[in-house]
Amino acid sequence: LLGDTIELKGWQGFKGDLDVKNNMTGTQSLFTTFRKTDIMFHVSTYLPHSTDDEQQIARKRCIGNDLSTIIYLEEGAVFKPPCVSGDFLHIFAAVQPATTKEGKPGFRVAFSSRDGVPTYGPIIPKPAIFASEGGYLRDFLLTKLINGERAALHSEFLVRKMTKTRIGYLEELINTFAKELD
């Protein structure tokens, strides 16, 4: 629904920080191009699982540094965003099987954002149930997630992080090239 399963080894397109040479981040992922934007999904079940690593650092490195995440829930399950931790995760989309008012298979969607993330569209319809077929669910989810990521970049937490990083880079440039000016 959201993209195509691709083989990572030898992948020539946008890689989204996944290893495309040695399969260190798994062998497959999900990729799509949406409105001229390349999207590489970090799919938890495609990322390597290590029985030796209780913390699953390789998985956390990818998913924990994402701004948004999609959680697929079984029918009747409940999701509470605080159960997924990470400093950078700001946008949560929950997707759950449901039936449309026409009796067709579909998905119910819900969104949650961290405090400080400005409002972003599109507005979620009521009821928020989309038919599995037809492509509207895909368009809605990807549009809402991209807009959510852009809005999250204006949250106080991320603005502080980006400012600190940029100051560090600027200081490094000054220290490196100031010597050449003497």
* Alpha carbons 110 and 113: distance in angstroms, whole number: 10
* Alpha carbons 109 and 90: distance in angstroms, whole number: 17
Any idea which residue has 């991209």 for tokens?
Answer: 146
- Could you give the count of Cα atoms lying within 13 Å of 22 in the half-sphere of its Cβ? 1
Going by pLDDT thresholds of 50, 70 and 90, the confidence category of residue 56 is confident
Going by pLDDT thresholds of 50, 70 and 90, the confidence category of residue 82 is low
pLDDT of 86 reads 67
Please name the residue ranges forming H helices in 16-155.
Answer: 57-63, 136-152
125 preceded by a cis bond (ω within 30 of 0)? no
* Alpha carbons 95 and 117: distance in angstroms, whole number: 21
Instruction: Sort strands 28-34 and 91-99 into parallel, antiparallel or unpaired.
Output: unpaired
Residue 84 predicted with pLDDT over 80: no
Please give the model's pTM, rounded to 2 decimal places. 0.82
Question: pLDDT for 96-108, tens place per residue?
Answer: 999 999 999 999 9
* Alpha carbons 57 and 77: distance in angstroms, whole number: 27
* Alpha carbons 161 and 18: distance in angstroms, whole number: 23
Residue 21 predicted with pLDDT over 70: yes
Phi then psi dihedrals of residue 163, to 5 deg: -65, -45
Residue 34 predicted with pLDDT over 80: yes
* Alpha carbons 105 and 132: distance in angstroms, whole number: 6
* Alpha carbons 157 and 117: distance in angstroms, whole number: 9
